[in-house]
């Protein structure tokens, strides 16, 4: 089962009010194990960055000025995600921006009904009454976030991938604990050559060493195993 965990950074809260996508980070998972494949891109929003958004992710107008617009890299993004389910925290927010950008450059939307998995909703259903921010969930599950100073799409997607695995029961997937777990090939099948085991080697101790060891042990005064200790105990 191939899944994509992703996160976005934007200029604000609503695409419909002129905010734009500026960063996206994706992590590929197969059977809920990270494969090492990622997608990461910055985009020029063609508008100024509000100070409130800059304080969250640190992406300035100067940094984004020479980055491509979303339309220039949309094919690479769509090729990476394919038809896999898309996992995000508060996913309706991220889907809103992705589909807004797709529509703006003439592409059909990603269906949120069939492909969206929202870890915020999962966390709320499994841990009602607790805090459900990404930071809080990292703390709950012992996910190291010490290197997270500002929000970053790829870093947050990598953290969320670990949180998602824990929300779904940890690393037990694939161990035969459930009959309905989907299974998908993670890539080409690699042939494994069986190892040839060497016969065990027997190391015999020479009689001289055994006699020397016995003499040494018998020469230890008041030993727990010596005859003098046995005599004292019997007396």
DSSP E strand boundaries for 61-184 = 86-88, 116-118
Q: Is 33 helix (H, G, I), strand (E, B) or coil?
A: strand
Alpha carbon distance 144, 158 (integer Å): 11
Sorted by where each begins, the domain ranges of the chain are 2-172
What tokens were used for 147?
Answer: 């290197």
- Please give the residue that has the higher pLDDT: either 177 or 46: 46
Choosing among 2.60.120.40, 3.30.420.10, 3.40.50.1220, 3.30.465.10, the CATH entry for 2-172 is 3.30.420.10
d(CA 69, CA 116): 25
Half-sphere exposure of 168 (CA within 13 A, CB side): 20
CA distances in angstroms from 81 to 5, 230, 235, listed in the order given:
10, 78, 84
So what's the pLDDT on residue 176?
44
* Non-local CB neighbours of 62 within 8 Å, separated by 6+ positions: none
* Residues noted as catalytic: 151
**Is residue 201 very low, low, confident or very high in pLDDT (cuts 50, 70, 90)?**
low
pLDDT band at 13 (very low <50, low <70, confident <90, very high): very high
Residues 175-197 have a mean pLDDT of: 44
pLDDT of residue 191: 43
Confidence check: pLDDT of 49 > 80: yes
pTM of the predicted protein model: 0.71
Mode of pairing for the β-strands spanning 33-42 and 86-88: unpaired
């Amino acid at each position: 089962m191939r899944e994509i965990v992703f996160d976005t950074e934007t200029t604000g809260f609503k695409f419909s009010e002129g905010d734009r996508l500026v960063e996206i980070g994706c992590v590929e998972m197969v059977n809920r194990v990270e494969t090492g494949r990622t997608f990461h891109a910055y985009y020029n929003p063609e508008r100024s960055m509000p100070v409130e958004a800059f304080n969250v992710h640190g992406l300035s107008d100067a940094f984004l000025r020479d980055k491509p617009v979303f339309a220039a890299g949309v094919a690479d993004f769509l090729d990476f995600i394919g038809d896999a389910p898309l996992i995000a925290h508060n996913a309706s927010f991220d889907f809103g921006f992705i589909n807004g950008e797709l529509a703006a450059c003439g592409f059909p939307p990603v269906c949120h009904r069939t492909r969206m998995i929202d870890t915020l909703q999962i966390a709320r259903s499994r841990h009602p009454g607790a805090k459900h921010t990404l930071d809080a969930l990292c703390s709950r599950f012992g996910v190291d976030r010490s290197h997270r100073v500002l929000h970053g799409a790829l870093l947050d997607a990598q953290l969320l991938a670990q949180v998602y695995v824990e929300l779904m029961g940890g690393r037990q997937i694939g161990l035969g604990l459930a009959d309905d777990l989907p299974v998908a090939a993670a890539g080409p099948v690699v042939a494994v050559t069986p190892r040839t085991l060497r016969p065990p080697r027997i190391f015999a101790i020479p009689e001289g060493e055994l006699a020397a060891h016995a003499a040494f042990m018998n020469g230890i005064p008041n030993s727990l195993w010596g005859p003098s200790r046995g005599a004292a105990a019997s007396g």
